Amino acid sequence: MFRQCSGLLAAFSLGILVLLPLSALEAEAEVGVEVVEETAAAEGAEAVGKSPAEQELAEMRAELERLRLLQDLREARLRDRIQESQMEIQSIEAELSLAAARRRAELATMEAEQERLQAVGALQEARQQAEMLQQRLAQKHRQMEFQLAEIEMQGEALEHRHIQRQRERESAAFEHAQQLRQQSLTDTKFAMQQDELKLAALEQRQMAEAVIATGPERLAEPFVDGVLHISDRRIDLNEPIISGTGDWIARRIAFFNNESPQDPIFLVIDYCPGGSIMDGEIILRAMASSKAPVHVVVKNLAASMAAIILGDAPHSYALPNALIMHHQPMSYTFGNLAQQKEWVRLFENWAHRIHAPTAERMGITIEEFYARMYEQSVSGDWMEFADRAQELHWVQHVVREIREDNVRRRPEDPSPYQAYWGSWSSAKTATGERIRLPRPRALDFYFLYNSDGRFFIGE
């Protein structure tokens, strides 16, 4: 193969040299031709004076010499190129020889690796045969053990069949008992399902009974024959009036107005000790601007700002034993004398604004109103029950009954005693259990039978 490649390269190189264009060879021989022409020109100069035949002969000789030299030059250059091509071919042959040697070395390495792999394969095959032999021996050993175990099992099977027959008899008896138990269980489940259906029906009936399907009646005149009917348009005021309480009440009055501008709105005061003048003023303005009539109701106590809200309401009511209390506003201030004087002026202005309507309804001045407060109490806290408060024009109506028509669902919340039991401390003493009661609210008292000293207040 290497010789074939070398011959092809040589023939290819010679073909390239032979196929070179004549114009290129003629261009290379121009220098020699110029030399011959110069020689012919010199000889022509020497032949001046010769005959025409001699001159023509001399020119022909010169032309012949020029052509011969041109041919020699072409042959010499062709030989040089052939020699260069041969040298290049020899270089290529050397490279091919080197590549062939490398390939033979690689082939030898591959053959050695193949022999090594064959040897490894033979070793693995021998090992596999040894393993297969061991497996056959182990299999024969297992077969013998299996045959022995089979013989033992046959003996055990005879005993097992005897036991199996006995168990079958026992199983039949057990299945019969199980069927009886299953039947009893089915009957019990059916009875339980019947009870669950009855319980569900009872719960549904109780739920239906716990909710009154019809909505509360909204009377245009809710006070009828001494009875006040409170509808579902109810707002509770059962806490001190603090910052934000006024807006909280005003937004609910606005909601009920947007719902219906005709139906009454009820502001129910169970126990309110009063509070912020500014937030109380917000409540007064909300009641005054309400298109729907606002009815204020007191069940237990309306003191201070709550008493002002009750008295200034367009419609006011109180239970006979409800307490209503008025007193001068109180404040806690600090500062220099000038600041205190400014604060007193502002305070007097507020007092005039909130108490002037009450004094006017009573037909007296504010100064007389304040004087009568201290006539009634050394602290200036003037409190009256609702029947006396009605005479003083602190409330418009004393009701003998309040009907909460808005309660349409049975109450299920725990009683206050049950709800707060965990927060009250109790202790076992030598004399028995003792229970600490919470301190009663202002103007409230415990009317409690406590002969055994079980209940106590304080430490």
Report the catalytic residues: 304, 327
Contact 256, 233 (CB under 8 A): yes
Residues paired with residue 230 on neighbouring β-strands, in sequence order: 404
Contact 409, 212 (CB under 8 A): yes
For 303, phi then psi, to 5°, come to -120, 150
Half-sphere exposure of 180 (CA within 13 A, CB side): 5
| Burial per residue of 185-206, b for 16 or more beta-carbon CB atoms within 10 angstroms, e otherwise | eeeeeeeeeeeeeeeeeeeeee
Q: Residue 294, exposed/middle/buried by CB under 10 A (0-12, 13-18, 19+)?
A: buried
Cα separation, 12 vs 22, whole angstroms:
19
| Residue positions counted in the chain | 459
For 378, phi then psi, to 5°, come to -65, -25
Report the run of H or E that residue 289 belongs to, with start and end: helix 277-289
β-bridge pairing 227-230 and 223-224: antiparallel
Residues paired with residue 407 on neighbouring β-strands, in sequence order: none
Strands (DSSP E) along 304-431, which ranges?
A: 315-318, 323-326, 382-385, 397-398, 401-404, 426-429
Residues paired with residue 224 on neighbouring β-strands, in sequence order: 227
Cα separation, 380 vs 373, whole angstroms:
5
Cα separation, 87 vs 101, whole angstroms:
21
| 401-404 sheet: strands from edge to edge | 223-224, 227-230, 401-404
Half-sphere exposure of 231 (CA within 13 A, CB side): 19
